Amino acid sequence: MRRSIPQSIFALLAAPVLFFAQSASAAPSADACGNIALVATGSCHLDVTGGCSAKCEPLTFQAACDGKCNVAIDATCTASCNTQCQTDCTVDPGSFDCEGKCETDCGGSCMSRCSASGDQANCSAYCQESCKSTCQGQCKVVPPSADCNAKCNGCCGGSCTVDANFDCSLKCTADLKGGCTADCTAPDGALFCTDQNGRDQYVHVTNLADCEAYIASNFNVKVEASATATCNANGCQGVGTAGVGCSTQPIGSAPLDVGAIATMAMGLGLIVSRRRRS
């Protein structure tokens, strides 16, 4: 009877380890990061209460909202843009700049897009940033040696994408603000990644471990975090601007993490082994 009790406990504790090992083998998906639309990133970090909430403003939601809004491009926009783009490109194809042309065309419509906004200044700033990041993403894959058709497809794809998705994207920034602020006060903190322009972008995380795996897999970047925090029965308060990972649940009710489960399982395995030898 002495052997059966530790063995049954070991089996129960080993099962979650096997479950997490199997889960970790799945291909990382952007869904865990709220389908974030990042062209590139140099770093990602978890922020906690302090300067974190101040970052919860429209421009930091750009990549997150681009990933949430996928309205179909209007064919009229594409046709009109391509006609003008082809005319400009054929004058000097070698010096035609896909990204520059895209930003000019897209940014020129920001005033009309924001005409009904109650805060035209912030709306316009957000629109310009949308044009910049989207045009960079669309034109990044177009080599300088490409012909006018390829360059104009990239240029108009960027400009018309912003045009089609702008209302959805602008509304999305208001929807994400509450979630961002809440993340800043959570134990893990809010996740931000720098974009290709060096601006922090909020990541709407649905599963932190899977999101970290996605970022590591696609950008070769590891999420920076710190365990520096003061924890008590009421929760955790981070120090500085690094994420914290301690539990806010009372002692005795907090779930065991994978490392703890694995350690305990290994320990119990040794106990079973020793008792058999004895």
* Runs of H (alpha helix) within the chain: 4-24, 62-68, 75-91, 98-107, 110-113, 120-139, 148-185, 208-219, 258-277
Give the pLDDT score at 278: 45
Give the pLDDT score at 109: 93
Is the pTM for the entire model greater than 0.85? no
- Pairing, β 223-224 against β 44-47: parallel
pLDDT band of 275, cuts 50, 70, 90 = very low
Kindly state the DSSP code that residue 152 receives in the 8-state scheme.
H
Beta-sheet strand order (sheet of 223-224): 200-203, 190-194, 44-47, 223-224
- What is the residue whose two structure tokens read 């005409």? 115
Q: CB of 186 within 8 A of CB of 177?
A: no
Does residue 157 have a pLDDT over 90?
yes
Give the pLDDT score at 26: 62
Each residue's pLDDT tens digit, 2-15: 344 344 433 443 44
Average pLDDT for the chain: 78
Report the percent of the chain where pLDDT is more than 90: 59
Q: CB of 180 within 8 A of CB of 55?
A: yes
pLDDT band of 197, cuts 50, 70, 90 = confident
Report the percent of the chain where pLDDT is more than 70: 72
Give the pLDDT score at 148: 96
195: left (phi over 0), alpha (psi -120 to 50) or beta: beta
In angstroms, the CA 150 to CA 139 distance is 9
In angstroms, the CA 117 to CA 166 distance is 12
Each residue's pLDDT tens digit, 51-104: 899 999 999 999 999 899 999 999 999 999 999 999 999 999 989 999 999 999
Question: Which of 132-141, 165-174, 247-256, 263-272 has the weakest average pLDDT?
Answer: 247-256
Each residue's pLDDT tens digit, 228-271: 444 444 544 444 434 333 332 332 333 334 344 344 343 434 33
Give the pLDDT score at 158: 95
Domain residue ranges in the chain: 4-55+185-277, 60-176
In angstroms, the CA 190 to CA 170 distance is 21
Q: Which long-range contacts (CB under 8 A, 24 or more apart) does 258-267 make?
A: 258/16, 258/17, 258/20, 261/13, 261/16, 261/17, 262/17, 264/13, 265/10, 265/13, 265/14, 265/17
- Pairing, β 229-232 against β 235-238: antiparallel
